[in-house]
Structure 1
Amino acid sequence: MKIKTYVVDNLAEAYPLIFRDLGKEAIILKSKPTKAPGFFGVFRRRKLEVVAAAELSEQAQVSPTAVDMSASVAANPLINEGNQAEHLSSTNASQDVLLKELAEMKGLIQSMTKASVQSQTIPKPLEGWVAHLRDQEVDEEVIQFIVKKFAMGNQPVEEMSNEEVQETLLHIIEQLFDEGIAKETEPNASFITLVGPTGVGKTTTIAKLAAARVLHGKQRVGLLTTDTYRIAAVEQLKTYGNILNVPLEVVASPEDLPAATENLKGCKVFFMDSAGRNYLEEGYVQEISDFLGYDAEQENYLVLSMTTRWRDMKKITEKMKAVPIDKLILTKWDETTCYGPALNMVYHYPYPLTYLCTGQGVPQDIIHANPAEMAKKLVGVER
């Protein structure tokens, strides 16, 4: 078995390196937060140390004795066909046993790794809070990071009052959110596209962003939509465009983009609404990528809904990794009581969070992501 260690920003960055070095059958033995060297010991960035392993190559998996036996059988004319078949059968059986043992070892390592993560000692004062975070769908790696941050504090957790534990928890979670929130929310690009699965509210979010530019920024805005699959989506965006006195162009294919932008000549910024479809459909991600190949200064936002379960949100994000994503928007913040997926997203993925959508109102129900307020929501502290 071959074992390698990687120091990366997040797990998503580690996967291609592991697959390149160890193959797609590799497994992750453990991962833990670490710090990259900084400038004179300061400005150290939080990194992730990932240990991965893979079984021996197919050639190495075959017992040397078995290979020698097969070769000698093939070369020895004194061994008749019956004996040769018997020898080869015995060799194949040995290989099957070896492969089975390796598979069992792999399963054992995976189960041991999972058990070790879940069985790490949780200090008594944190037990209730850890249960709360799990109920909020905060994933286990993030929880273990939070627990370790407590352990690194100046005061033992067991000596802290309930109020001190709560304040420290708030501070740690606020820091995590702050590291994953975009400091510059106003895009500099002239061509802004929203991508994401169906039903997350991309069209309404586009209207909110465009309205803010028109009403507060006094800018000339143009709207584009590639969502020719849903007539209602086109009509909805057209309605918003009429209210804001903003022109709209429907784009059926990537080849139509130059003509569409020419028709919107004079606009300072373009907002493009992409088609919302089942993200599992073959070709959907490629179709989005084709539209994003337009020659312009672009900024692309991944839009996800807070009403989506974390495991599904993770699958969507993994599927969309092939698309050039710059930032993240979370919608339906007002429609959930489960805020853990937001923390998981900023912890695991390199897409800075910019906006939270808090309702259907245009343009008022969109706010800049605020780490302190998001931490309070997750911990359950009233304003």
Structure 2
Amino acid sequence: MKIRTIYAKSMQAGLRMVKEQLGPDALILSSREFPSPGSGRRATGIEIVAALDGEPEPQPSLLGEASTTAGQESEAPGRRPFTEPEDFCTFSARSFMEKDHREEPIPEDRTRCKRLEEEAPNPQPIRPDSATDAPLASRVYQWLLSKEISSSLASRLLEEACATLPFVDRAETAVLQQAVAAAARKLVAAPPEAGEAPAKRIVFFVGPTGVGKTTSVAKLAARLALKLRRKTGLITLDGYRIGAVEQLRAFAGLMGVPFRFVQAASELRRAIEEYAHRDYILIDTVGHGPRNPGPLRELGRLLSECGEAEGHLVVSAATKPADIPEIIMRFDCCAPDHLLFTKLDETRNLGPILDELVRTGRPVRYYSDGQRVPEDFHVASRDRIVDLVLNLNKGAHGAKHEYQHCRPSKPPSRPGSGLHAPAHLC
């Protein structure tokens, strides 16, 4: 199956482009109006997602359009010829181009439906389990969009999934969804060395303010020191946020690991030398806004004193999708080679995570979905990330995120239930 996303000034121009690029048998998966830059919310163009099935044999199309042969053109006596029902979402480019829709009056019921659709406050995309006459590929495509996966990545996943499936297997929604998940796993980069522990001895965490860097450092330190029994040392560069030093010092005291607060490059080198006998050194940093390049460059120069290190850019999963690429670009001066997503429990759709992992090609070793230390800090993998984003295997990794809101926000403290810093430090 070939899938193309086409942008045009009008529907007629877009359909002509569909016919030129995919031929008259192409089918429209979706179409929507979009504003051009500088035009505010006023729609000035059309986005059309079209598909063409490449199967040579005249079988029923994946998109639901009946295929005809020369022998089927003559109808038996007494039978009415088959005609496709009119459909707003999916129609063939051939039938549209053969009719002059500019001269055809719009029926009153269509006008009323269009007005109701425009007045809807938050129109939701079509989901695969809803009662709809939309074809299978269109439903799966809309299902991907409902996860807040970008239209370009959704088209790519659907095209690669269809290329790996026999034509007969595409008739099942679940089969096509699993094929999409398999295609997504191939696009996500895996960490250089899989495992619970970092691949390098020195590990630093950078990111904007309020994304959970300090808590992530404490969670990883607890995993290394208490579960894996590795000698771990903590260093913080964050002297700006009120209570940051005291918070990490309290966690270090609970775990029984040494702690240092440094502000200059010479102090950082000295602290690393003091921890020479430690298996791992975890470094917390100051949070900076992505549009403040001066302090970010200074932080990058300071972290260069660490030598060979593993860097994690911490990003909240609740961040607006449009802001994540800029955050990643701005923090490149600190040379992080991993992404670490936090606060997965604070958003329902995780599609932007998959978009950024595919776009940047950077691996993700850990993710966090709560405040408990260290229970809510998890080792990531390709399968786990894709399951969380698409939520197909609810019995495995996706169920925890899907029903996260059912868990008490403050679990009762009991021996062995985890580490909890003093209340005034949290």
Q: What amino acid sits opposite 2:194 in the alignment? A: E
* Contact 1:195–1:202 (Cα < 8 Å) also in 2: yes
Q: Compared with structure 1, are the counterparts of its residues 180 and 349 closer, same or farther at alpha carbon in structure 2 (3 Å cutoff)?
A: farther
Identify, as 1 or 2, the structure richer in helix: 1
Aligned to 1:56: none
Shift of 1:323: 2.5
Aligned to 2:259: 248
Aligned to 1:206: 217
Q: Deviations over 1:114-145 (max 9, x none)?
A: 967x4333843121222222232211221121
SS in 2 for 1:310: coil
Shift of 1:297: 2.8
* Contact 1:305–1:331 (Cα < 8 Å) also in 2: yes
Shift of 1:313: 1.0
SS in 2 for 1:301: strand
Aligned to 2:324: 313
The yes-or-no answer on 1:153 pairing with 2:83 is no
Q: How does 1:47-62 map to 2 (within 5 A)?
A: none
* Contact 1:137–1:341 (Cα < 8 Å) also in 2: yes
SS in 2 for 1:330: strand
* Identity across matched positions, percent: 27
2:194 corresponds to which of 184, 199, 205: 184
Whole-angstrom CA distance in 2 between matches of 1:157 and 1:375:
25
Aligned to 2:268: 257
Whole-angstrom CA distance in 2 between matches of 1:236 and 1:137:
35
Aligned to 1:45: none
- TM-score after normalising by structure 1: 0.64
1:277 corresponds to which of 274, 285, 288: 288
- TM-score after normalising by structure 2: 0.58
Q: Compared with structure 1, are the counterparts of its residues 243 and 344 closer, same or farther at alpha carbon in structure 2 (3 Å cutoff)?
A: same
SS in 2 for 1:294: helix
2:361 corresponds to which of 340, 350, 356: 350
Q: Compared with structure 1, are the counterparts of its residues 120 and 253 closer, same or farther at alpha carbon in structure 2 (3 Å cutoff)?
A: farther
Aligned to 1:322: 333
Which blocks of at least 5 consecutive residues in structure 1 are unaligned? 1-106, 108-113
Whole-angstrom CA distance in 1 between matches of 2:306 and 2:165:
53
Whole-angstrom CA distance in 1 between matches of 2:388 and 2:228:
30
Aligned to 2:240: 229
Q: How does 1:1-383 map to 2 (within 5 A)?
A: 118-121=48-51, 123=63, 124-156=135-167, 159-177=170-188, 179-180=189-190, 183-185=193-195, 186-264=197-275, 266-381=277-392, 382-383=394-395
Q: Compared with structure 1, are the counterparts of its residues 190 and 321 closer, same or farther at alpha carbon in structure 2 (3 Å cutoff)?
A: same
Whole-angstrom CA distance in 2 between matches of 1:228 and 1:276:
10
Q: Root-mean-square deviation (CA), in Å?
A: 2.4
SS in 1 for 2:305: coil
* Contact 2:252–2:259 (Cα < 8 Å) also in 1: yes
* Contact 2:317–2:353 (Cα < 8 Å) also in 1: yes
Shift of 1:370: 3.4
Shift of 1:165: 2.0
Whole-angstrom CA distance in 1 between matches of 2:383 and 2:291:
35
Q: Deviations over 1:217-237 (max 9, x none)?
A: 322211111111113211110
SS in 2 for 1:314: helix
* Contact 1:150–1:157 (Cα < 8 Å) also in 2: no
Whole-angstrom CA distance in 1 between matches of 2:46 and 2:190:
29
Q: Compared with structure 1, are the counterparts of its residues 237 and 344 closer, same or farther at alpha carbon in structure 2 (3 Å cutoff)?
A: same
Shift of 1:277: 2.1
Q: What amino acid sits opposite 2:220 in the alignment? A: L
Whole-angstrom CA distance in 2 between matches of 1:369 and 1:209:
13
Q: Compared with structure 1, are the counterparts of its residues 214 and 180 closer, same or farther at alpha carbon in structure 2 (3 Å cutoff)?
A: closer
Shift of 1:346: 1.4
Q: Deviations over 1:156-202 (max 9, x none)?
A: 3895222322322232233334x455552432322110011111111
* Contact 2:162–2:176 (Cα < 8 Å) also in 1: no
Aligned to 1:4: none
SS in 1 for 2:293: coil
SS in 2 for 1:345: helix
Q: Is 263-272 or 251-260 further displaced after alignment?
A: 263-272
* Contact 2:239–2:245 (Cα < 8 Å) also in 1: yes
Whole-angstrom CA distance in 1 between matches of 2:322 and 2:185:
23
Q: Is 189-198 or 366-375 further displaced after alignment?
A: 366-375
SS in 2 for 1:325: coil
Q: Deviations over 1:5-60 (max 9, x none)?
A: xxxxxxxxxxxxxxxxxxxxxxxxxxxxxxxxxxxxxxxxxxxxxxxxxxxxxxxx
Which blocks of at least 5 consecutive residues in structure 2 are unaligned? 1-37, 39-44, 53-62, 64-134, 396-426
Q: Deviations over 1:54-95 (max 9, x none)?
A: xxxxxxxxxxxxxxxxxxxxxxxxxxxxxxxxxxxxxxxxxx
Shift of 1:339: 1.0
Aligned to 1:34: none
Q: Compared with structure 1, are the counterparts of its residues 263 and 121 closer, same or farther at alpha carbon in structure 2 (3 Å cutoff)?
A: same
Whole-angstrom CA distance in 1 between matches of 2:154 and 2:234:
42
SS in 2 for 1:352: coil
* Contact 1:190–1:296 (Cα < 8 Å) also in 2: no
Q: Is 157-166 or 126-135 further displaced after alignment?
A: 157-166
* Contact 2:205–2:213 (Cα < 8 Å) also in 1: yes
SS in 1 for 2:304: coil
* Contact 1:227–1:274 (Cα < 8 Å) also in 2: yes
Aligned to 1:79: none
Q: Deviations over 1:251-282 (max 9, x none)?
A: 11223212223444533321100101212113
SS in 2 for 1:292: helix
